[in-house]
Chain A
């Protein structure tokens, strides 16, 4: 496939017509697939770089705040947490490649956490005598290493009433160490993803892998991140703690960021793939559904708690839920089927 591209470029130079070079590139092995993967790789690179940049800013701001605690630096710190967390949500659908190394996705966001291991780890680390540093945080495991730990320190209401709350020495040490781990992981992830470029674009199976990752992400969004706190899952009752990012009141903002990330980083490559398969209709449907679903967030706040307590707003949330569900179905039952991609039983979650 690389050969065909080289030839296209060569012919393009020879004939001096850009249009012709594209026309020649088309009929080779499966250039559209390669182009789709090239686009996916480029877009995910953008997403990972945004995550790395904002994680660096978050880490820097944590140091600034701890050096000079004030209302201003605190606001800045919280704002940088939200931005970096949102950037993570946008690329959270990518469940293959370097994100799998050392369980990095779990390191960045340990969730679900039904036993509140994040809170338990925080209390253990803060109450012990041992110095808190990067090593201590990584030794404490995935519940201590990511955005939820920072969220606990910044936003957990009961914790913020205690003497250990920020900007206490130990809390600041934990904040800075955890922010460093997040930053390191985000930086490594971004660099490793760029190093994967050639392999990703040369390996046909990544097309299905990428589509499946989006299917899985939407399924998790519908079933776990929305369905469970809405009382549509196993518990049958509305429970904000079943969602993610409830401490910061960002459950819905995070869901929106994930959908928006899929729209920016996944959808363009998929459209290219669908167009190659003469499925422009499905591509258009998906484009419209993404827009319509994202628009539903306009009527909703960032948090879930206030929505779950208010039946009128809950109805709006139900509309969003249905919209995401329909989007998931269009992707899984129309787009993926048209491309011959299925979600397996063992291939997606074997042992």
Chain B
């Protein structure tokens, strides 16, 4: 089904100049040994980390590079979610999926686990964290689940990730957080949904949600501004920030299914707006966005909608949709240094979106692993 002539079906990627480089990859693909293989070689400088479920049902963090080589795979007992890499690349931090009972610090080059850190009593992590610009502090979203209070847990990386501070948020359910481009603020997607480990994954307060996008002073945790979405059941979960300090927010809607509120928020210069998609695309999101990424210089934005099997590329500045791409169980997305995007999925299918071809699929990859919602 064409949407404004932009929808792209999952037909094989056209042979590109990169196919010339693909011989060795095909050999490896044929051998069946590669956890992630590409039909055509990818440009240099593409690498990604992602939490996976292995074919045997176990879980792991996998680091892959542009040559479709898995640099390392580190198994974990629990399903993991998001993570971050220290500015020098030495440390990789991986969070368990909500309710997260630990995060791990791994050696970025080898995948070896160096540290494991637990939350405080009556607290769990949400699955995301970010480093300070100098790499000294790690900020992680957390919940004091007995009270429901959202928190930012601060860890001192130079002191073995010692818990150095706890900042109480005025709100419930902080999820992904990122630094502002100048490093002075933490930008937090506050989901607004209360959960409790004793209650499985039940959403306990859907009738009283108060989600928001928060800007905090990075040094003190003090809230500097708060921006609420148009609907109180629009849960702000994930975000990405461009060089121009524009924050793009991916939401999940928990109201009636027959309503279709916009799921992408945009904050710039103190103003919150919401980006409306064409109706045919909007309805296919199924009220749920998993990941959002932005090319920091061009403000091209990509969101993934696993429940709709859809990836949407849009121009963040104008709000115009560039294309929709069918990708079953679309999951993680990461901007690549050449201006494109790498997108993973829960079925193991990957695509690389080519900036030189208007973000159409430049190459396809396959993997036997189920990739979780985020690449980092």
Contacts and interface: CB of A to CB of B under 8 A. Distances in A.
A346 B373 contact: yes
Contacts of B364: none
Contacts of A337: none
B206 A101 contact: yes
B346 A106 contact: no
A350 B204 contact: no
Interface string A121-146: 00000000000000000000111000
Nearest to B201: A349
Interface residues of A, number: 29
A345 B346 contact: yes
A345 B370 contact: yes
B258 A142 contact: no
B257 A97 contact: yes
Interface string B335-375: 00000000001110000000000000000000000111100
A99 B288 CA distance: 17
Contact of A351 (B97, B308, B329): B97
Tell me whether chain A's interface is mostly helix, strand or loop, or mixed: helix
A97 B255 CA distance: 10
A96 interface: yes
Chain A CB within 10 Å, residue with most, of B202, B328, B330: B202
Contacts of A102: 206-207
A138 to B, nearest CB: 10
B309 interface: yes
Contacts of B331: 345-346, 350
B163 interface: no
A98 B346 contact: no
Given A112-B200, A203-B283, A205-B284, A344 B206 contact: no
B204 A351 contact: no
A72 interface: no
A66 B13 CA distance: 70
Contacts of A110: 199, 202
Contact of A350 (B206, B258, B283, B288): B288
Contacts of B347: 342, 344-345
Contacts of A192: 256
Nearest to B258: A199
Contacts of A103: 202-204, 206
Contacts of A98: 256-257
A142 B307 contact: no
Given A97-B257, A342-B329, A347 B200 contact: no
A155 to B, nearest CB: 23
A117 interface: yes
B329 A344 contact: yes
B290 A350 contact: yes
A100 interface: yes
Contacts of A292: none
B97 A106 contact: no
B256 A101 contact: yes
Given A102-B206, A345-B331, A351 B98 contact: yes
Contacts of B334: none
Contacts of B370: 345
A196 B363 CA distance: 40
B151 interface: no
B325 to A, nearest CB: 16
Chain B CB within 10 Å, residue with most, of A110, A112, A203, A351: A351
Given A100-B257, A344-B328, A346-B306, 12 more contacts: A102-B207, A103-B206, A110-B199, A112-B200, A141-B199, A143-B199, A199-B257, A205-B283, A205-B284, A205-B308, A342-B329, A350-B307
6 contacts: A97-B257, A102-B206, A103-B203, A142-B199, A196-B258, A351-B237
6 closest A-B pairs by beta carbon, nearest first, are A345-B346, A344-B329, A345-B370, A347-B306, A346-B306, A199-B258
